[in-house]
Amino acid sequence: MLENKEILESIDVNGEPPTDETAKQYYYMVKAANYVEEESKEAGRKLTYFVQNFGCQMNARDAEKLSGVLKKIGYEEAFDENADFVIYNTCTVRENANLKVYGRLGYLNGVKKKNSHMKIGLCGCMMQEPEVVEKIKKSYRHVDLIFGTHNVFKLAELLVTMYESKRTVIDIWKDTDKIVEDLPMERKYKFKSGTNIMFGCNNFCSYCIVPYVRGRERSRNPKDIIREIEKLVGDGVVEVMLLGQNVNSYGKTLDEPMSFAELLQEVEKIEGLERIRFMTSHPKDLSDELIEVMANSKKICRHLHLPLQSGSSKILKDMNRRYDKEKYLALAKKIRNAIPDISLTTDIIIGFPGETEEDFQDTMDVVRQVEFDNAFTFIYSKRTGTPAAVMENQVPEDVAKDRFNRLLKEVQAIARKRAAVYENTVQEILVEETNEQDPEMVTGRMSNNMLVHFKGGADLIGTLQKVKLKECKGFYYLGEM
């Protein structure tokens, strides 16, 4: 990373911080590194960090940014909460995501009492909710640092403030139009990586908190995206996942607008890159151009995640999804016709306010007609501040649970049937890791995202292998090289 080195060499920590945001954060990294070194001497050992991530791929990518800065300033990675700096990167999309964080924070209080060097940081989507921050200030006073989703890039600067003040440091931004490039990142996998192509969301689906905690939609400059992927490929990455809450509206707000399909074509040209994935597609914005580009591509994976949320046109209207049952069905059909070997997966919410048995049957009907290869099913969770939270006719829990169970059964039966069609075919597998149960086996993924286990050593990790799929085990395969 030549640019970083140049920046680092030009930094004078005794002078004023630079005005360029990237350079400024490197300036604070140097300063923070001094504090970490001091404390490390005091402790008589290397200091360690642990980032626990909750929530979606977007958060996972942010966690890599946090790790990147922490490594750069001298912390070593730890793999559980017995660390000197623990950060929870939180999610608030459903109530149980929040409850998990409170539970673990309680436990951390005890851990901290045994380690005088320990610091605790909280960031991510939950922190964008003022009530959450109030609650933490009041009831979880052992937290040292709180920041949000818009200023993740500022971690080094916040750490310096934390070291210099003895109080809890809180810095939450309501929104931002800023995108800070070229900061360090510590990737979880050597051979695959996520890349943000956009941030935020403008869709305001009526149940969803994301637009409130992630701010307005903004796209990254295509040149920055391509440059980042080229660098990743130079570093050994063969699969990239383009990330955004609604990738189909990529580029609309750029000075020189560009469609998502056009961006994909640019990414496809990158030599050495083998696989391209993306998440998430909103059905209302999925273009014919995109279907065509996918059908003709050699690198775009045979997988499309297309959240349905509900099969009832009435519920979809109340959800503010801006498509109806017929439109979704027609779109799914068009995609399956154009790309026959594609795996279609989806998200479904059960128990949205006002959902009747008839509405639920519409959802079941779409599930049966489309035959999703997999579906993530959720029971509706009321998020304070969203329009759906104050809607009448909230569905009783037992009714929602019963529908949820019926849906799950249907979804799983269809997924099993869909998975079985690959038996005895030869597929290209990207090997991801040594098998957790059997160290003589490795685990990898097909282009359509299906997991395959087969005999092989760790030297295969990160390579593409032709594998014969011998036995379908429901949601995964056992194969042979």
Residue number with CB closer to ligand SF4 (195 or 246): 246
Residue from 107, 204, 376, 475 touching ligand SF4 (CB under 6 A): that is 204
* Chain residues that interact with ligand F3S, rule: CB under 6 A: 55-56, 58-59, 91-93, 125, 210, 213-214
Residue number with CB closer to ligand F3S (58 or 225): 58
Out of ligand SF4, ligand SAH, ligand F3S, none, what residue 69 binds, judged by CB under 5 to 8 A for its kind, is none
Please name the residues in contact with 171: beta carbons below 8 A apart, sequence gap of 6 or more.
Answer: 146, 147, 148, 151, 154, 158, 161
Residue number with CB closer to ligand F3S (275 or 383): 383
Residue number with CB closer to ligand SAH (143 or 304): 304
Residue number with CB closer to ligand SF4 (282 or 453): 282
Out of ligand SF4, ligand F3S, ligand SAH, none, what residue 236 binds, judged by CB under 5 to 8 A for its kind, is none
Out of ligand SAH, ligand SF4, ligand F3S, none, what residue 55 binds, judged by CB under 5 to 8 A for its kind, is ligand F3S
Residue from 128, 246, 281, 310 touching ligand SF4 (CB under 6 A): that is 246
Task: Output the residue with the shortest Cβ distance to ligand F3S.
Answer: 55
Whether the Cβ atoms of residue 194 and residue 241 lie closer than 8 Å to each other: yes
Residue number with CB closer to ligand F3S (185 or 442): 185
* Shortest separation between residue 56's beta carbon and ligand F3S, angstroms: 3
Q: Please tell me whether residue 279 binds ligand SF4 under the rule CB under 6 A.
A: no
Buried b or exposed e, range 147-184, using 16+ CB within 10 angstroms: bbbbbbbbbbbbbbebbeeeebbbbbeeebeeebebbb
Classify residue 236 as left (phi > 0), alpha (psi -120 to 50) or beta. Answer: left
Out of ligand F3S, ligand SF4, ligand SAH, none, what residue 204 binds, judged by CB under 5 to 8 A for its kind, is ligand SF4
Q: Please tell me whether residue 211 binds ligand SF4 under the rule CB under 6 A.
A: yes
Out of ligand SAH, ligand SF4, ligand F3S, none, what residue 347 binds, judged by CB under 5 to 8 A for its kind, is ligand SAH
Out of ligand SAH, ligand F3S, ligand SF4, none, what residue 91 binds, judged by CB under 5 to 8 A for its kind, is ligand F3S
Out of ligand SAH, ligand F3S, ligand SF4, none, what residue 125 binds, judged by CB under 5 to 8 A for its kind, is ligand F3S
Dist. CA 414–CA 406, nearest whole Å: 13
Q: Centre a 10 Å sphere on the Cβ of residue 302 and count the other Cβ atoms it contains.
A: 18
* Chain residues that interact with ligand SAH, rule: CB under 6 A: 93-94, 207-208, 210, 245-246, 280, 282, 307, 309, 347, 349, 378, 380-381, 383
Q: Which residues bind ligand SF4 (CB under 6 A)?
A: 201, 203-205, 208, 210-211, 245-246, 282
